[in-house]
Structure 1
Amino acid sequence: MTRTPEEISQQLLDAARLAGAEAADAIVIDGSSVSVEVRGGALEHAERSEGTDLGLRVFLGKQQAIVSSSDSRPETLTAMAERAVAMAREAPEDPFTGLAASEELTGGWDLDALELFDPSPEPSAEALMQDALAAEAAALAVSGVSQVSDAAAGYGIHRVHLAATNGFSGGYARSSRSTSCVAISGEGTGMERDYDGDSRTFQADLRDAEEIGRKAGERAVEQVGARQPATGSFPVLFDERISSSLIGHLLAASNGAAIARGASWLQDCLGEQVLPEHLSLIEDPHRPRISGSRPFDAEGLATRRRAIVENGVLTGWTLDLASARKLGMTSTGNAARGVSGPPSPSNWNLSLTQGTQSRADLLRDMGTGLLVTSMIGSTINPNTGDYSRGASGFWVENGEITHPVNECTIAGNLRDMLKRIIPANDARPYLSRVVPSVLIEGMTLAGN
């Protein structure tokens, strides 16, 4: 008889109690996925996977241990619990570990309002292949595209259930549907590549496969003839495709785990200006049909909308229970975890205030500088915020794109960079991180 994730999680808790655990929580993730890749107008690879992953965390006082498995047979659950308790007896004490108090737990949520799961029928492998073939054909139809290195489509569903001896029990199901394409232009050492893709919770929202392929092809062709730019101080416009990485650095520095370790360039910036005064960074885990939405966090606490940065001012850290206890604060309901590790702070859906100008307006006004559309590598000093990344994109002269560029490095300091950002109005509202193109003046550019 097939057991649900909820039933397995409760059986894990029962086994933990019998093995001698004083407290425990269990997470069960059950899911399936199918992916298809094509090349040269024919199927190259198809894969379907199904499985259940289990994680059990047990406590003996302030000692904890975690075990995981992909086997949900009753005898395996018993062995997991016994092994976890034995490990906990040998573990060092952690004064900040432990489950949430019962009064901290959330008890009600509206899964229907979040629309995390698409009830429409699962697509067939044939339907996925036709999407991948359509994307590949559309890319190859673009003049200048020499080949398509990857055209793929996929679908997946997973169900997660969290239960703990403090009385929490909750779960939800999530679906995803995706199409992607990577096109290559040119020949030999002059080859350039670029991509496009889309991933949605609901299949009906997915962009057309032909549009994805065509966009990948056009982007690849635009890169032909790339050369190194000049070295100096120039304005840099981060394209909307990669601008969210800048906000990602801010989120990493305001993560409670980094703050508790004393390894953050934002360490002493709580309540201070970190963005321009007219910008806010909002976290909202309750946006319908968005991949980062969830009704509760990995410790059973309610998720909620909050301003991480409000009118340019950093308002707080991103906290789970352990980091909050270390800092003498309260969890923000941002715990995330897999089956093999403890909870840690993580962010959900983010939105940066959009500007009033289009990307074209910012290009026109920047004069001479760099439009960055792709970045590789990363050297970020977590303590100082010193920033250096490899980049490619397009050179801009007198407000107009003149030619593609590559093999250059952009550098600055995040503390200063973020205070100077000028956002465009081109963010895609259906992404988990809604961040528009961003202009930063006076960055150091190292080219030829």
Structure 2
Amino acid sequence: MTHALPDLAQQLLDAAKAAGADAADTLVTEGFQTSVDVRDAKLEEAQRAEGVDFGLRVIIGTRQAVVSSMDARPDTIRAMAERAVAMAREAPEDPSVGLADPSLLATEVPDLDLADDAGDPSPDVLRDMALAAEAAARGVDGITKTDSAGAGASRRHIHLAGTNGLSAGYERTSRSLSVVAIAGTGTAMERDWAFDGRTHLSDLDPPEEIGRLAAERTLARRAPRRPRTGTYPVLYDERVAAGLIGHLVAAINGMMIARGSSWAKDLMGASVLPDGLSLTERPLRPRVTGSRPLDAEGLATREAPLVEDGVLGRWVLDLSTARRLGLKSTGNAARGTSTPPSPSVTNLHLTAGTANRDDLIAQMGTGLLVTSLIGSTINPNTGDYSRGASGIWYEKGAPVHAVSEVTIAGNLRDMLRTIVPANDARSYASHVVPSLLVPSMTIAGE
């Protein structure tokens, strides 16, 4: 690190107090990000960004303001603190604003092995990974070219501090590899992708596997047709199923509940998933991209169910939304350097089913396996759901043809209450959600 982050954080807090803030907190990050893209077996682009980034939140009474900068010179820090205080004095009052009581702060930062100690991959290593993935995709019969292949690596040191005594930090890394493959030409051109992202390079899937998977997915999309409009079962493939669960998570976010603008606002203690299914947040999983040892307000994170045996058990809360609702924070605060804290989930785990995906396809009979979703029209108040979809059409459990440019629609209350999970979730993913069968949805085709 170029900067001693705890010292920089303290400078920011001291400047805020000197400028007239009643209280303040700060998020300071420092690190780098490198990305390499190749095309047609040649290097297309390489980028690297590094530096320090920090945000300062100041509080005056029940008013707050946030400013951010990448310039750590003392004069800049003093000026930004003065600007933040001036902004806070003009901000609207909000009784929910405030730092955590010192008694609520995490007393330790558990080591979740989020930083790769094996060293950071060089641009040459990233380039070779991308080239190998692209070559594997192009080596599959039927693939005409690749749109892109890329690899990336990053490392971040993160430190949180506040005038309430908060001072804690940790380090995390990220490594990723992706390929987009293309089959066909002209108006018959189809494309699909494969991606893997981990905290440690050694955990990444081999480039050859990622390239092959992108090719197989692309070839399955050739010669698409639209089925007849009607009501059918819809099976969400594992790679898009987490998005369906994500709509439930968004609906129980404390901001939505506090505003009274969620279709789930009256469902606390009610069934939102089938009996026997639980949705659990697991923020402390080692070597997982979504893990975090403490939240953005310095509270300890912990494993806890959101839904247990089908019944909704809690909202997703930070301090502000908890105060608005007369509840306690669930340790779900997240923030960027230019924004105040807001509620956000970490890792999720949905109860797996007993059947594999092929079993659910057989159970589906005639219907749509969704492998890609585009756009969305989700009514947050009613849960009405409509999305563009692509995938594979099945009849009597057998694949018939690819599908594109159809719309699938339903209501999230009904959809989520009837889902049938498979057992094919990736155990290493941040959101461990298997393929999900929705027994009845409207498909707008021909």
Pairs aligned (count): 446
Residue 64 (structure 1) shift:
1.0
Q: 1:363 aligns with which of 348, 361, 364?
A: 361
Q: Is the 8 A contact 1:23 1:165 kept in 2?
A: yes
Task: Give the match's secondary structure for 2:238.
Answer: coil
Task: Give the match's secondary structure for 2:442.
Answer: strand
Where do 1:45-444 residues align within 5 Å? 45-111=45-111, 114-444=112-442
Partner amino acid, structure 1, of 2:171: A
Residue 163 (structure 1) shift:
0.1
Deviation per CA, 1:17-47: give whole Å up to 9, x if none.
Answer: 1111111001111110111000111100001
Partner amino acid, structure 2, of 1:235: P
Deviation per CA, 1:378-412: give whole Å up to 9, x if none.
Answer: 00000000000000000001111111111101000
Q: Is the 8 A contact 2:109 2:169 kept in 1?
A: no
Which residue matches 2:39? 39
Partner amino acid, structure 2, of 1:333: G
Which residue matches 2:14? 14
Distance (Å, rounded) in 2 between the aligned partners of 1:430 and 1:276: 25
Task: Give the match's secondary structure for 2:171.
Answer: strand
Distance (Å, rounded) in 2 between the aligned partners of 1:123 and 1:92: 47
Partner amino acid, structure 2, of 1:328: G
Distance (Å, rounded) in 2 between the aligned partners of 1:257 and 1:147: 45
Partner amino acid, structure 1, of 2:206: D
- Scaled by the length of structure 2, the TM-score of the pair is 0.99
Deviation per CA, 1:199-248: give whole Å up to 9, x if none.
Answer: 11011100000111111011111111111111101000000000001110
Distance (Å, rounded) in 2 between the aligned partners of 1:430 and 1:368: 32
Q: Is the 8 A contact 2:109 2:168 kept in 1?
A: no
Distance (Å, rounded) in 1 between the aligned partners of 2:71 and 2:59: 22
Task: Give the match's secondary structure for 2:85.
Answer: helix
Task: Give the match's secondary structure for 1:117.
Answer: coil
Distance (Å, rounded) in 1 between the aligned partners of 2:257 and 2:10: 35
Residue 3 (structure 1) shift:
2.2
The worse-fitting range, judged by mean Cα deviation, of 422-431 and 59-68 is 59-68
Task: Give the match's secondary structure for 2:240.
Answer: coil
Deviation per CA, 1:124-183: give whole Å up to 9, x if none.
Answer: 111111110111111111111111001001110011110000001011110011110000
Residue 85 (structure 1) shift:
1.1
Partner amino acid, structure 2, of 1:314: L
Distance (Å, rounded) in 2 between the aligned partners of 1:440 and 1:21: 52
Task: Give the match's secondary structure for 1:53.
Answer: strand
Residue 292 (structure 1) shift:
1.1
Structure 2, unmatched stretches of 5+, are: none
Distance (Å, rounded) in 2 between the aligned partners of 1:277 and 1:2: 53
Residue 14 (structure 1) shift:
0.8
The worse-fitting range, judged by mean Cα deviation, of 241-250 and 398-407 is 398-407
Task: Give the match's secondary structure for 2:121.
Answer: coil
Distance (Å, rounded) in 1 between the aligned partners of 2:440 and 2:282: 32
Partner amino acid, structure 1, of 2:426: R
Distance (Å, rounded) in 1 between the aligned partners of 2:222 and 2:182: 10
Partner amino acid, structure 1, of 2:156: H
Distance (Å, rounded) in 2 between the aligned partners of 1:329 and 1:110: 26
Distance (Å, rounded) in 1 between the aligned partners of 2:90 and 2:412: 42
Distance (Å, rounded) in 2 between the aligned partners of 1:72 and 1:120: 30
Task: Give the match's secondary structure for 2:26.
Answer: strand
Q: Is the 8 A contact 2:277 2:350 kept in 1?
A: yes
Distance (Å, rounded) in 2 between the aligned partners of 1:300 and 1:149: 42
Residue 2 (structure 1) shift:
3.7
Distance (Å, rounded) in 1 between the aligned partners of 2:328 and 2:431: 25
Distance (Å, rounded) in 2 between the aligned partners of 1:226 and 1:5: 54
Distance (Å, rounded) in 2 between the aligned partners of 1:279 and 1:254: 17
Distance (Å, rounded) in 2 between the aligned partners of 1:188 and 1:267: 48
Q: Is the 8 A contact 1:229 1:406 kept in 2?
A: no
Partner amino acid, structure 1, of 2:87: M
Residue 109 (structure 1) shift:
2.6
Partner amino acid, structure 2, of 1:212: I
Distance (Å, rounded) in 2 between the aligned partners of 1:86 and 1:327: 29
Structure 1, unmatched stretches of 5+, are: none
Task: Give the match's secondary structure for 1:241.
Answer: helix
Distance (Å, rounded) in 2 between the aligned partners of 1:439 and 1:90: 51
Residue 272 (structure 1) shift:
0.3
Distance (Å, rounded) in 2 between the aligned partners of 1:296 and 1:162: 10
- Scaled by the length of structure 1, the TM-score of the pair is 0.99
Task: Give the match's secondary structure for 1:150.
Answer: strand
Residue 63 (structure 1) shift:
1.3
Over the aligned positions, Cα root-mean-square deviation in angstroms equals 0.9
Query: Sequence identity of aligned pairs in percent?
Result: 60
